[in-house]
Structure 1
Amino acid sequence: MGAAAAPRRPRDLLGGGLARQSPAGGGAVVLDGIPGNDDNAGCRDPYRRSRFRTGRRLPHAAGRLAGLSRPARHPCGVPATRRRRCHAQGYRRRRGRGQAVRASWRHLRLRLFRHPSGRMSIDACAAAVAANDPDRFACAMLAPMPRRGALMVLYAFNLEVARAPWVTAEPMIAEMRLQWWRDVLDEIAGGGPVRRHEVATPLAQVARDHALPHATMLALIDARRRDSQLEPPADIAELDLYFSETAGGLMTLATRILTDEEPEAARLMGQGSGAANYLAALPVLKETGRAPLPNGDAAATITQIAKTGLRRIDEARSLRPSVPKAALPALLTGWRAQHLLSSARARPQLALSGGLEPPEILSRATRLWRGSTGRW
């Protein structure tokens, strides 16, 4: 048998001359890009001095030799043994201490889901409202922080119910979707566990915390059955009831969250706002094959709807002294109703052609003025 091989020195394990002085022998600084350690390849200049002092933290090979359990860390903050995998999975360097953060939605989702307050579902609701109902989202941002999340959940629930008749051309499927939400409300009212859903789950907490009236929420769902029907409404009174149960009921629920009260002004203001939004959406309703107006003269019907909506708004504003100021974020969602209804009353043909929307600069000025003065 041949002579036993001489034991390898620490500097040989570390790649020879580039290590200058062996950390195991008391060296002060180790260079990056050490030959033999492929994990460092291509990350930094091989002759650039590392910012990690070896008196506390050694490269992986030297750490094993010296019996230390803590390997060196890459400048991105990830141990050398995991460096390739981390770069492949999307880690990035965080400013400050250089800790590794995985920049992926899956990681963020898991962190939010584990939050004891169920913040993930509230954030999902807020994202849906911001994308599909920007007016209510902007007004909800004026609410105090403890109530803001509840408003986002309520408005997301309204979106889910409102879109149910529009995601399918089959009335039966739309009916099944609405029935699903009726079942959710029954579970909430029963006080037991509620099925897991990104909107239904936080809605149960909001409805129980703020004692939202079960009948108002059921009426909001039942009124949406009207959207799946192709037949025209019987008369203007039927449409006025529809506005009261949808937009009026939603504004009442939002006011309940903000003030723990249900002022009549909220329902009246919601009726007027619902009428304005309905007239602005007439071209879209016609394109989908619906008959949004009662049979008869369309221009005269639009004028009558506009007059009724303006009367509801005037009635609501007459009750302004009795409405708590905290209800402003809910009532302010009807900030553009006055302009839309006045335009429809003066020129009903604009509603049929889709020309009711005010110019953007006027919309911003009106919203800013009403929000700053509190005059909804």
Structure 2
Amino acid sequence: MGEAADEAHYAHCEALIRERDRDLWLACLFAPQPARRHIHAIYAYAIETSDVRARVSQPLLGEMRLRWWTDALTNEVSEGTRAHPVADALLDTVARFDLPRDELVALADARVAELYDDQMPDMATLDDYCRMTSAGPIRWAARILGAGPSPAFDEAGLALGLTRVLRQPAGSLIPADLLARHGAELHTNAPALRAALAELRDKAQKHFETARGMARGLEKGREALLPAATVPLFLARVATSGYDPLQELSEPSPLRRQWRIWRAARGVGL
């Protein structure tokens, strides 16, 4: 692939993010321009893998699609892989910044759980899922920005991942041990289920507050935390009396979300 094709593939990644997740696209704008396209590549990969469930009629077909991504990350690059704009930009970014391929593979592997309706067994498993699917891209973005390892990136990712679970109608990602602790069942808008999700909300809030406190001590990479900046807005909605765990959570206004991202960026943190 020539330089023009490479640029087109990076542009494709940005367009995909802007279409699918405008808040994420806005958060990426605050990263330094040279790093921005590479951050677009890793988030485009996260979006591509998250979209697999909606694109297939059977779980096995979804597993095949996810296996294509793991093969692209672990095997010799083929022309077929390079012809895929997101894969091409992702592999170029991985090579330039020596991103941990095992972690990128783990993200695709974690998406397999989304293809089936098997209950998430416990809170520890959900935490691992959030570390792979939500914290992973934040860690990689921080590395692209020149930051060293910090628990702040995992804490922000856990807050973001748990909030994403709460934004969807209560389903199989809600851990069985959490439900059992409250005597709750899925598919019933009962006080017990709301109590279980309130515990999950409080856990997400604690992770966010921890990440915000740690952000002040970061020398580099604080812009990588910005995708989690809107977490408090969504958690506040979960806390309202009108919250229905059987329905997708309504979104705060775009203006409020944009303001929250801008304010966090001005503080270069959360």
Aligned to 1:369: 263
The farther-off stretch of 311-320 and 245-254 is 311-320
Aligned to 1:134: 22
- 1:240 is displaced (CA, Å) by 2.0
Q: TM-score, normalised by structure 2?
A: 0.85
Matched letter for residue 179 of structure 1: R
Q: Does 1:319 align with 2:200?
A: no
CA spacing shift, 1:177–1:120, aligned 2, 3 Å: same
Residues 38-117 of structure 1 aligned to structure 2 (within 5 Å): 115-116=3-4
Q: Give aligned pairs, total.
A: 254
- 1:346 is displaced (CA, Å) by 5.2
Q: TM-score, normalised by structure 1?
A: 0.62
Q: Does 1:332 align with 2:226?
A: yes
Matched letter for residue 362 of structure 1: R
How many angstroms apart in 2 are the aligned matches of 1:298 and 1:167? 30
Q: Which of the two has higher C-alpha Rg?
A: 1
Matched letter for residue 173 of structure 1: L
Q: CA RMSD in A?
A: 2.3
Q: 1:352 is paired with a residue of what secondary structure?
A: coil
How many angstroms apart in 1 are the aligned matches of 2:130 and 2:241? 22
User: Which residues of structure 2 form unaligned runs of 5+?
Assistant: 185-191
How many angstroms apart in 1 are the aligned matches of 2:229 and 2:261? 6
Aligned to 1:106: none
CA spacing shift, 1:117–1:159, aligned 2, 3 Å: same
Residues 300-351 of structure 1: CA deviation (Å, up to 9, x unaligned): 22111111111111222232233234x2332011111122224324548344
145, 152, 174: which is aligned to 2:33? 145
Aligned to 1:157: 45
Aligned to 2:59: 171
Matched letter for residue 158 of structure 1: A
CA spacing shift, 1:229–1:349, aligned 2, 3 Å: same
Matched letter for residue 28 of structure 2: A
How many angstroms apart in 2 are the aligned matches of 1:291 and 1:348? 22
Q: Percent identity?
A: 23
Residues 6-34 of structure 1: CA deviation (Å, up to 9, x unaligned): xxxxxxxxxxxxxxxxxxxxxxxxxxxxx
Aligned to 2:187: none
CA spacing shift, 1:339–1:181, aligned 2, 3 Å: same
CA spacing shift, 1:139–1:359, aligned 2, 3 Å: closer
- 1:166 is displaced (CA, Å) by 2.1
- 1:231 is displaced (CA, Å) by 2.0
Matched letter for residue 197 of structure 2: I
Residues 201-280 of structure 1 aligned to structure 2 (within 5 Å): 201-280=88-167
Residues 213-272 of structure 1: CA deviation (Å, up to 9, x unaligned): 122112111111111011221233322221111101111111111124232211110110
- 1:352 is displaced (CA, Å) by 3.4
Aligned to 1:305: 200
CA spacing shift, 1:321–1:328, aligned 2, 3 Å: closer
Q: 1:261 is paired with a residue of what secondary structure?
A: coil
User: Which residues of structure 1 form unaligned runs of 5+?
Assistant: 1-112
Given that 2:133 and 2:161 are in contact with CA atoms closer than 8 Å, whether structure 1 keeps it comes out as yes
235, 238, 241: which is aligned to 1:344? 238
How many angstroms apart in 1 are the aligned matches of 2:86 and 2:51? 14
- 1:365 is displaced (CA, Å) by 2.7
Residues 143-164 of structure 1: CA deviation (Å, up to 9, x unaligned): 2221111011111111111111
How many angstroms apart in 2 are the aligned matches of 1:222 and 1:334? 23
CA spacing shift, 1:202–1:173, aligned 2, 3 Å: same
How many angstroms apart in 1 are the aligned matches of 2:16 and 2:269? 28
How many angstroms apart in 2 are the aligned matches of 1:359 and 1:121? 31
Given that 1:265 and 1:319 are in contact with CA atoms closer than 8 Å, whether structure 2 keeps it comes out as yes
